[in-house]
Amino acid sequence: MNASTWQAELCVDSRCELGEGPQWHAAQKRLYWCDILGKHLHWLDPATDSHASVALDQMVSCAAPVNDGRLLLVGERSLVLFDTERQTQTPLCDFEADNPVTRSNDARVDHHGSLWLSTMGKNAEHGAGSLYRLHRGELVTLRTGLTIPNAICFSADAQSAYFTDTPTGQVMRWALDENGWPVGEPECFADFSAYSGSPDGAVMDSEGCIWLSLWGAGEVVRLDTQGQIIGRIELPVDQPSCPVFAGAGLETLYITTAREGLSLEKLAETPTAGSLYRVETGIAGLAEPSLQLV
């Protein structure tokens, strides 16, 4: 079967150094995303295309919607609750605060309202990263010895979690118990180790397929339940980092991208690298719950 192909269009010319962590806040009808290295939180109202951002005091990789209306900022040294109306911050807990080597990376809320989140070395130091689950306010370590943990998402039936350690090129599937905790060892779901791009952020759609960013390849691929590519979104920039479904009916796919590490020549060729892109695929996303802290 031939894979469907779409072209992404520029949505917000934000030119983040490292755009990441897009999250749809259904109650606010806002899309949030982060510039990790630029230490900014961005948001977009898809209904009006209005965009704004705020400076942060640490590198933050994700702003996850909390069920009380606030955001949880996943930072390099702490988890912080952010009131978007008052723009006030309330510390929740430290997050590898005693490890100056690492920063936060990928994160996504599971079907139980718990947040899976990861860390990595600031210079991608081998094995410096870890994978955690924030469950009812308690931070539990799930896995250590990872390098660039990414692609966190969950099957529609809540029986599997997916993630990748980007340098390995493999997307892993991990069985979950009835409370959302991993069971046994993860298994390889899709192998991109011989591919031109590296697996980065991912999101699940309403049909049980995964949309996976391929860093360096300038594309997001759609994987079926067997891990086979059945769709492809082409971008005019090389480093897509993470997709998310947002807007009315979760019918638009937004994609964060990055400028990090690009040469001056490459930036001249792709000046909108680091910006937010979107595409209408005709396929709706899978609704994600808000984070529950208690």
Q: Which positions make up the binding site?
A: 20, 103, 105, 150, 200
| Sign of the Cα pseudo-torsion (167, 198, 231, 17, in order) | positive
Catalytic residues: 200
DSSP state of 250: G
Residue positions in the annotated binding site for substrate? 103, 105
Strands 276-279 and 252-257: antiparallel
Half-sphere exposure of 84 (CA within 13 A, CB side): 23
Question: Which DSSP symbol is given to 192?
Answer: -
Q: Which residues carry a binding-site annotation for a divalent metal cation?
A: 20, 150, 200
CA angle 138–61–79, rounded 5-degree value:
30
Assess contact for 113 and 292: CB atoms under 8 A. yes
Round to whole Å and give the CA distance between 107 and 115: 7
Name residue 21's amino acid: G
Residue 151 CA: distances (Å) to CA of 57, 198, 223: 26, 11, 12
